[in-house]
Amino acid sequence: RAQAVCPESVAAPNGRLAICDRGGQVFVCQPVEGGGRREPLWAPPHCLPFSLCWGPSGEYLAYTSVSEVRLAALVVVPMPWVGTDAIVTPLQMAPYYLAPSPCGTRIAVLGALRHRQVLCIVDTAQATMPCTERAPPMSLHVLVSAAPLYFDWAPHAPEVLLALRGRRLCRERGAVASEAYSSVGEATASEAAFQQPLQQRTTELGPPWAGLGAEGWAVSGSASFRAPQWVDRLGCPQGAWLSPKDSEAGNGRVSLVLHDPASGATEVICETLPPSVHFSASPTGRWVAWSGMHDMRGHGGVFVRRLPVASGSPIMVFNDTALALAWGGDRLALLIELGDSDELVWAVWDPPVEGVEGGPAGVAASAGRLSVAPASFRPHEAFFERVLPFFDQFERRLRLWSPRNDAIVFADERSQVWVQPFPPP
């Protein structure tokens, strides 16, 4: 257990936890049974709740910091931490959430500026290699919509997939400006980040996104993009986009499809789903999961389907909807609400064992196994307000699973961080 401001604890590939405490200070912890030793970082405080994340290989910690006078900055701390100064990049916007690219060389920050959505792409090379510059190069893109936006990185290139206005998927290179900011001089980056208003310290380096339609995939009708996912897929050199699309039946429902951006071909995963369906693909690209009401009478569930689609039919793993889904390899974590209370519990679905055939004697094995944690918990109110409504976006970069995918980390309403084991079958 450790004190934290909210469920702001994420696991690194090396087994460490990053935790934000009640005061917004970030520290790392090597968890052991019964507790763990906290190691505070010398980095700016005021960590924005649920912005804390590791680089893809644990090479850095990143979060957005908002000072008491509402000045924001992206903070990147090289790891392992040996007293190294944090790299602080001022942001001229109110940040929502951030996501490192899979290769770890870029961080995308989505936020608001003057009632418009903006996307900031920051180069993180200084976090992994020596450099005399204090602030990394960045590009600030003004988006074409003030509606909530979602994005995901390509699995094998610095490219971003965006959902604009909930009706169009667009791709854009995650490039940064060629020129870097000048050095902040004698002051350390941590001290200089909040010394003066951001408008005086940053400029808009990227042009507005005006011509995205040429690379876009338009979707008309009732489809409402939650968080499109760019999946590393065999047979698709550029990967595939997992997203909802209007059902051909024209009944106000949507189909969950994989879209090949190179050929334009689509593969239907499931039909007749509600427009706000929550979906996610496993990091291995072998499974797709979704949760939502599947008819107009309030019947819902959590389903998975193996890819390619020809591998078999969808499998129901839980006979009610889940509040959140999170993959750890090919293991699926479900956050389940207990009745009408505020109590939640984590459960984990394990896929069927390879080579087990279906049929009367193998039905249970062919559907996989669902394990439920022995104890429920009440999460912090900030988790309900800030994360759950957008969990599918946070799930793209938050790592709640341990490196071996045998435990989940979470925090409760008393600001205590817990590690719940889920041994593999």
pLDDT in tens, 292-320: 766 656 667 999 999 988 888 889 999 98
User: Which residue in this structure is represented by tokens 């609400």?
Assistant: 337
Q: What is the pTM of this model?
A: 0.81
Helix/strand/coil for 394:
helix
Q: Looking at residue 351, what DSSP letter applies? A: P
CA-CA distance, 86 to 62, in Å (whole number)?
10
Q: What is the pLDDT of residue 306?
A: 92
Q: Lowest-pLDDT range, 199-203, 223-227, 378-382? A: 199-203
Residues 30, 38 contacting (CB under 8 angstroms): no
- How crowded is residue 352: how many other Cβ atoms within 10 Å of its Cβ? 18
Specify the pairing of strand 168-173 against strand 138-142.
unpaired
pLDDT at residue 183 tops 50: no
pLDDT at residue 375 tops 90: yes
Q: Lowest-pLDDT range, 78-87, 203-212, 330-339, 379-388? A: 203-212
Edge to edge, what strands does the sheet with 324-328 contain? Answer: 324-328, 331-337, 344-350, 369-372
Confidence of residue 386 (pLDDT cuts 50, 70, 90): confident
Could you read off the pLDDT of 207-221 as tens digits, one per residue? 333 333 344 565 555
pLDDT at residue 39 tops 70: yes
Which residue in 308, 252, 255, 242 sits closest to 281, CA to CA? 242
Query: Sign of dihedral through CA atoms 7, 13, 17, 20?
Result: negative
Residues 416, 4 contacting (CB under 8 angstroms): yes
pLDDT at residue 52 tops 60: yes
Q: Lowest-pLDDT range, 99-113, 254-268, 363-377? A: 363-377
Confidence of residue 343 (pLDDT cuts 50, 70, 90): very high
